[in-house]
Chain A
Amino acid sequence: MTTDVAARASTRPSVRTDTRLAWTLVTGSDRRERWRLALTAFGAALATGFCLGAAALAALTGHQVSVPYGNGLLDQPGTRQGVVVALLLLLAPVAGLLGQCARVGAVHRDRRLAALRLAGAGPRQVRRIAALESGLACLAGSVLALIAFGAMLATTGYPVPLAWAGFVALALAVPAAGAGVSVFALRHVVASPLGQVRRVTADHGPGFLVGLIVPVLLVVADSALLALRGTRDIAAAPLLVGAVVVVTGAGSVWVAGASSRLMGARLAGRATGPAVLIAAHRLRQDAWAAARTHAALLLVTVVGVAFVGIREVLLDELHRSQREGHMGMDISYYTFGIDLVGGAVLVALAISLFSLAVGTAESVATRRRSLAAQAASGVPYGVLARTLLLETALPLAPAFVLATLGGTAVHLAYASAVGAAVPVVMPLLVPPAVYAACLAATATSLPLLRRSVHPSELRAG
C-alpha cells in the first residue's frame, strides 16, 4: 500500500471529479433527498416556463399578431407588455418556493457537506459539489419545461424562429442561476468540517426582508397598473400605491416576526394547555423563521385585498360604461385583462401556499426524532398536531390584520381617486380565505406528523 507521493500531488481536484461526485450523491440520495430534488426541479420548471413565456411574447413585434391564446389581449403590444411583466413577477413566488426547497433536508445536507469536508474536500470544492447537485436538479426541470413549451409553440406556429436560440439559452440560464443561488445559500454552511455551524439564529429579520421586498413590491405595484393601463388611463399615482403596498407588506412580515416573539413570550408564561405551551416556546425560539416562511403569503394577501377591491371598482365602471354605451371594445377584452391579473395573484398564492406546506413538512421531518420522543414519553398526538397548527396560526393572525388594512388602503385610495363607490364585502373575504388556506396547507403535514410520532422513528438517525 505504498503510494507514489509525487503522482498523488499531480492529481488535483477537478470539476470533472466534482461533477461525478455530485452525480453519485444525487443518484444515491434517499427518499427525502429525492423529494427535495424533485421539488427543486419543479420550481426550476415553473421558473423556466414563466421566463420562456415572457420571452416568447416579448419577441413578438407589431400590432396585429394573432395569438390563439388570451382573448385578443396578446395581440396588442401594450397589453402584451403587461402580460410579460406579470409573468416575470410570478418569478418572485417561484424564487420563494426554491428557497423553501433549499431548506428541505438542510440539516441532512449540512451534515453531508461537513462529512465531505472531513474527508478532505476544500471549502470551494464543497460549494462546487453542492452547486452542481442543485444545478443538475434544476437542469432536469428546465429541460422538461423547454420541451413542453416547445411542443406548445410548435402547435401554434410561432412566428419568430430566431427566438429558439434564446429559449435554449434561457433554459440553461435557470439552472445556472439555481446553482449560483445554492452557492450563496451555503456560504455559512461549508465553514466547518464538524458540521457544528455556530450560526447566529436570531435577528437579521426586518432589515434583510425590507431590502428584499421593496424592489419586488414596487415592481408589483407598477406592473399591476401597467397591465391595466391598456384599458383605462388611471390617474392615481402608481408610486403612492406601490409605497403603500411596500410598507404594509414589509410591515406585515415584521409584525409576524415581532408578534411571534411577543406572543411566544407572553403565552409561554401563562399557557394552560400543553399545545399552546409548546407552540409558544418554539415561536419564541425562532420567531423570524416563521416570518420568512410567511413573507410571501402576507404579500399575496396585501396584493389580493387591493386587487379584489380595485377589481370591484373597475367592473362597476365598466358596466356603467357599457350601459351608457360608450365602450370602445367588447367588455370581455377588458375583463380578461383584469382576470389575467387575478389569475397571476392566484398562481402566486398557490405557489406561496405550496411553499408553506413544504416548509411545515420539512419542519416536521427535521424534528421527527424529537417528536417521536415526545410521543413516546406520553404527549398525545392531538397535542402535537394542534401545536403544529398553532405555530402557523398564531403569528399569522395579527400580520393578516395589518395586511388587510394595507390592501384596503390601496383600493380605498383608488376608489376615491376615480370617485367610485367603495367596495367593502368582497375584499374583506380575501384574508379569511387565505388564512383558512394557510391552515389547510399546514394541515397537509399532519399525516407526516402521524407517521413521525411512531416509536420506530426513535431509531432514525
Chain B
Amino acid sequence: MSTQAREVPAGAPLLAARGLVKSYGRTEALRGAALDLYAGEILAVSGASGSGKSTLLHCLSGIVRPDAGSVSYGREQLDRLPEERLSELRRTEFGVVFQFGQLIPELPVIDNVALPLLLAGVPRAEAHVRADAWLERFGVRGQRELRPGEMSGGQVQRAALARALVTDPRIVFADEPTGALDSLGGEQVMTALAHTARETHTAVVLITHDAQVAAYADREVRLHDGAVQESPMLPQAVSHDH
C-alpha cells in the first residue's frame, strides 16, 4: 500500500490540495486554499497570525480533516482515508515538527526519536541504531539519554527534526519549527533541516511568519484570510543543484 503512494508520475505534484475549507466554530480558518507540493522541494507557507497557516498544515498532513476540498497524496485522498491509515502515513511517509511539544517528556531523547519506528514494530535495537545516526547528524547524540526537559530549546528542536526524519519520510511538515528559539538556535535548526531535505530529496512544507526562515525555502506561498495569495513572482523552477 505504501509503495503505491510513493509512485508519483514525473512532473505531477507529490501532494495537491484543492479548495480547502475548514472552520472552527464561527472562525473560518481556511477558505478555499489550494497548493501543490513537488517532490524534494522546500515550500514556505507564510502569512500573518490567524491567516490559517497552521490549519493548512494540519489539513495537508492529515492531522485534521477539512470541511470541504481535497488533499491528494499519490493515489490516495487524505481527506477520505480512515484514521488508522492516516496514522500509518504519519509513521512512515510523513514527519511532523512543531514549535514545541511534540516530544514525549517521559522518554529519553533516543526513544523519542526512535518512537515512529517502535510504533511501526521495528525492533528496539535496530530503531536505536537508526535514531542514533540522526542524532549524530544533528549534533545531539551526546544528549541521547536526556529527557526533553533537560535539553536546550535548540537541542529539543533538532531532536524533533531527527524524529521527523528517522522514517525517511517523503514529506516533512514543519510548523514554526524555530518559533520558540532565539535567532542562532533557529538558524542551526533551519540549516540542519534544509541541508538534510536537499540531501535526502525530502519535500518540506515550512510554516513560518518569519521571512528569514522562509528564505530557506525554494518557493513561497502566502496565505491571506485562509486562501493562498497569488505571488507576483513566477514560482522558480524546482531545482536542487546545490
Interface string of A97-118 (1 = CB under 8 A from B): 0000000000000011001111
Given A30-B106, A119-B116, A120-B91: A12 and B58 within 8 A (CB)? no
Contact of A122 among B83, B105, B168 (CB under 8 A): B83
Chain B positions within 8 Å of A124 at CB level: 84
Is A88 an interface residue when CB atoms closer than 8 A count as contact? no
Chain A positions within 8 Å of B163 at CB level: 119
- B71 to chain A minimum Cβ distance, whole angstroms, is 16
- Please report which residues of chain A, range 443-461, place their CB below 8 angstroms from some CB of chain B when the two chains form the complex: 461
Is B212 an interface residue when CB atoms closer than 8 A count as contact? no
Chain A positions within 8 Å of B167 at CB level: 3, 8, 120
Contact B87 A117 (CB under 8 A): yes
- B27 to chain A minimum Cβ distance, whole angstroms, is 12
Residue of A nearest to B83 (CB): A123
Contact B96 A118 (CB under 8 A): yes
> In the complex the two chains form, what is the Cα distance from A30 to B84 in whole Å?
30
Is A71 an interface residue when CB atoms closer than 8 A count as contact? no
Contact of B84 among A1, A116, A123, A461 (CB under 8 A): A123
- B223 to chain A minimum Cβ distance, whole angstroms, is 19
Contact B106 A194 (CB under 8 A): no
- A71 to chain B minimum Cβ distance, whole angstroms, is 49
> In the complex the two chains form, what is the Cα distance from A124 to B83 in whole Å?
10
- A389 to chain B minimum Cβ distance, whole angstroms, is 32
Chain B positions within 8 Å of A13 at CB level: 119-121
Contact B101 A122 (CB under 8 A): no
Contact A461 B149 (CB under 8 A): yes
Contact B118 A21 (CB under 8 A): yes
- Please report which residues of chain A, range 126-177, place their CB below 8 angstroms from some CB of chain B when the two chains form the complex: none
Stretch at the interface among B1-9, B14-22, B72-80: B1-9
Which of B2, B105, B167: most chain A Cβ within 10 A?
A: B105
- A119 to chain B minimum Cβ distance, whole angstroms, is 5
Residue of A nearest to B103 (CB): A115
Contact B84 A115 (CB under 8 A): no
- A2 to chain B minimum Cβ distance, whole angstroms, is 7
Given A11-B120, A25-B106: A115 and B87 within 8 A (CB)? no
Chain B positions within 8 Å of A125 at CB level: 87, 119
- Please report which residues of chain B, range 88-107, place their CB below 8 angstroms from some CB of chain A when the two chains form the complex: 88-92, 96, 98, 101-107
> In the complex the two chains form, what is the Cα distance from A9 to B92 in whole Å?
9
Interface string of A6-44 (1 = CB under 8 A from B): 101101111001001100110011100100000000000
Is A193 an interface residue when CB atoms closer than 8 A count as contact? yes
Is A5 an interface residue when CB atoms closer than 8 A count as contact? yes
> In the complex the two chains form, what is the Cα distance from A1 to B200 in whole Å?
8
Is A265 an interface residue when CB atoms closer than 8 A count as contact? no
> In the complex the two chains form, what is the Cα distance from A112 to B115 in whole Å?
12
Is B111 an interface residue when CB atoms closer than 8 A count as contact? yes
Chain B positions within 8 Å of A394 at CB level: none
Chain B positions within 8 Å of A12 at CB level: 120-121
Contact A115 B102 (CB under 8 A): yes
Is B147 an interface residue when CB atoms closer than 8 A count as contact? yes
- Please report which residues of chain A, range 174-205, place their CB below 8 angstroms from some CB of chain B when the two chains form the complex: 192-195
Contact of B106 among A2, A20, A112 (CB under 8 A): A112
Contact B119 A193 (CB under 8 A): no
Contact A194 B200 (CB under 8 A): no
- B219 to chain A minimum Cβ distance, whole angstroms, is 25
Which of B64, B90, B92, B106: most chain A Cβ within 10 A?
A: B106
Is B69 an interface residue when CB atoms closer than 8 A count as contact? no
- Please report which residues of chain B, range 110-150, place their CB below 8 angstroms from some CB of chain A when the two chains form the complex: 111, 115-116, 118-122, 124, 130, 133-134, 147, 149
Residue of A nearest to B196 (CB): A1
Is B32 an interface residue when CB atoms closer than 8 A count as contact? no
Is A121 an interface residue when CB atoms closer than 8 A count as contact? yes
Given A24-B107, A111-B101: A116 and B119 within 8 A (CB)? yes
Chain A positions within 8 Å of B103 at CB level: 115
Contact B64 A194 (CB under 8 A): yes
- Please report which residues of chain A, range 338-353, place their CB below 8 angstroms from some CB of chain B when the two chains form the complex: none
Chain A positions within 8 Å of B98 at CB level: 118
Contact A119 B115 (CB under 8 A): yes
Contact of A120 among B2, B120, B200 (CB under 8 A): B120
Contact B87 A120 (CB under 8 A): yes
| Interface positions of A (Cβ within 8 A of B) | 1-3, 5-6, 8-9, 11-14, 17, 20-21, 24-25, 28-30, 33, 111-112, 115-125, 192-195, 461
Contact sample, A vs B, 21 pairs, CB 8 Å cutoff: A1-B168, A2-B168, A8-B2, A11-B121, A12-B120, A14-B121, A17-B118, A17-B119, A21-B119, A29-B106, A115-B101, A116-B104, A118-B90, A119-B90, A119-B163, A120-B87, A122-B84, A192-B64, A193-B63, A461-B105, A461-B149
The 4 A-B residue pairs whose C-beta atoms are closest, nearest first, are A120-B91, A122-B87, A28-B106, A120-B90
Besides A24-B111, A29-B106, A112-B106, 20 new A-B residue pairs in contact (Cβ under 8 A), listed by A number: A1-B130, A1-B168, A5-B3, A6-B3, A8-B2, A8-B167, A11-B122, A12-B120, A20-B118, A28-B107, A111-B101, A116-B104, A117-B87, A118-B96, A119-B116, A120-B89, A120-B90, A120-B92, A124-B84, A194-B58
